[in-house]
A and B are shown apart, each in its own frame.
Chain A
Amino acid sequence: DTEVTQTPKHLVMGMTNKKSLKCEQHMGHRAMYWYKQKAKKPPELMFVYSYEKLSINESVPSRFSPECPNSSLLNLHLHALQPEDSALYLCASSQTSTVGQFFGPGTRLTVL
C-alpha cells in the first residue's frame, strides 16, 4: 500500500459546527503533516507529527486541533471555523527526507 488516503473528499460546514478530517497511511512513515492550500497558492504547512508527537505547529489558530492516535492515523479537528478557512487541506507522510513527502488527495473544505 503506497498511498495516503483522506476523508472526506469534500466538506461543507457552518461556523458553529465541529468536524474532523482524517488521514491514513500504511507505508510505515514516521512523519505526518497537515497543509492548507488556498486557490492558486502553494501549500502552507500547518502541523508536523514525528513519531506520533507534535513537532511543529506553525502558529495555527486553536480552532484547528491536530491529533495523531497512532503511527498510521492523523486527524484534524475543526471547531468554530471562519469563511476564510475555506481551502484544500492536504495530508502528507514521509519516511526519509530523500524521497519526499507523499500527499493524499486532499479535503476541499467550505465554511459557510
Chain B
Amino acid sequence: AQKITQTQPGMFVQEKEAVTLDCTYDTSDQSYGLFWYKQPSSGEMIFLIYQGSYDEQNATEGRYSLNFQKARKSANLVISASQLGDSAMYFCAMRGPLMNRDDKIIFGKGTRLHILP
C-alpha cells in the first residue's frame, strides 16, 4: 500500500528565507509520481510541481523545486525567497504506476506554512 508522511504540522519562516517542507513516501511500485499542492485559506488546491519516479533531475518550477531522493524515499519541497503570499497549507501527494488507469492520488496530512514579515 502507498503512504505519504508529512511530519511538520506547522512551520514559521521569516520572509525572504528559503523553506524546506518534508515529505517521505512508501510504495512497492517501481513507477509512481509525486506532487505538491498549495491550499490557501480560500480553499482552492493549486498544483505546484511534479516529479516522476524515473526522472533523473529534480523538478523545478520558478521558486519551487523538489528535492527527490529516491533511495531515501523523500520528496521535499523547497521554496526559495519566501513571500507573504506563500502562507498556506501544503500537501504532498503520490499516484501509483502510470499503467494504472484509476488516476488515484493519495495525500499527506499537510504542513501549514506561516511566512512572517
- The residue that A101 contacts in the complex, of B47, B101, B109, B110, with Cβ under 8 A, is B47
Q: Count A-side interface residues using an 8 Å CB cutoff.
A: 27
- The residue that A50 contacts in the complex, of B52, B101, B105, B109, with Cβ under 8 A, is B101
* Stretch of A19-27, A70-78, A90-98 on the interface side: A90-98
B46 proximal to A (CB < 8 A): yes
Which chain A residues border B110 with CB–CB below 8 Å?
A: 40, 42
Per-residue CB contact flags for chain B residues 83-117 toward chain A (1 = under 8 Å, else 0) read: 00000000100010010011111011110000000
The smallest C-beta distance from A57 to any residue of chain B, in angstroms, reads: 11
Q: Is the CB of A42 within 8 A of B108?
A: yes
A42 touching B95 in the complex, CB below 8 Å, given contacts A88-B43, A100-B35, A100-B50: no
Q: Is the CB of A45 within 8 A of B104?
A: yes
Per-residue CB contact flags for chain B residues 1-39 toward chain A (1 = under 8 Å, else 0) read: 000000000000000000000000000000001010100
Q: Is the CB of B43 within 8 A of A42?
A: no
B81 proximal to A (CB < 8 A): no
A92 to B104, CA, bound (A): 12
A79 proximal to B (CB < 8 A): no
Q: Is the CB of B43 within 8 A of A97?
A: no
A101 to B33, CA, bound (A): 12
The smallest C-beta distance from A53 to any residue of chain B, in angstroms, reads: 11
A94 to B44, CA, bound (A): 16
Which chain A residues border B57 with CB–CB below 8 Å?
A: none
Name the CB-closest residue of A to B110. A42
**6 nearest A-B pairs in the assembled complex, by CB-CB distance:** A42-B107, A103-B45, A100-B47, A106-B43, A105-B44, A100-B35
By a beta-carbon cutoff of 8 Å, the part of chain B in contact with chain A is 33, 35, 37, 42-47, 50, 52, 91, 95, 98, 101-105, 107-110
15 A-B contact pairs sorted by A residue (CB < 8 Å)? A42-B107, A50-B103, A55-B102, A56-B102, A56-B104, A88-B43, A90-B45, A97-B95, A97-B98, A99-B50, A100-B35, A102-B47, A103-B44, A103-B47, A104-B44
